Amino acid sequence: MTMNFLPSCNRSGQIEPSDSKPEGFRAHAAECRELANRCWHDETKRRYEELARQWLELAEQRQRSA
């Protein structure tokens, strides 16, 4: 599994994730959930779950602003 979180600049020069569409954010959330499910260390698992929640929140925000 390869995760690509490298930022890019949009037309106005603001930095955005490489896939800034809601579907891309949801895909990142799914990857984080998958990694959380593979973790045996509770703290690492919790952090991946939190990352997934944040990606989903970004997807919701992007969809509302579209």
Mind listing the pLDDT tens digit for each residue in 42-56? 999 999 999 999 999
- 11, part of any domain: no
- 43, part of any domain: yes
- 56, part of any domain: yes
- 41, part of any domain: yes
CB 53, CB 26: distance < 8 Å: no
The H or E element that residue 38 is part of is helix 22-38
Which phi-psi region, left, alpha or beta, contains residue 13 (left: φ > 0; alpha: ψ -120 to 50)? left
> pLDDT per residue over 3-48, tens digit each?
555 444 456 555 455 567 999 999 999 999 999 999 999 999 999 9
Rg for the chain, CA atoms, rounded: 13
- 3, part of any domain: no
- 28, part of any domain: yes
Token duo for residue 60 = 């919701």
Q: For the chain, what is the domain count?
A: 1
Question: Which residues form the domain of 48?
Answer: 19-65
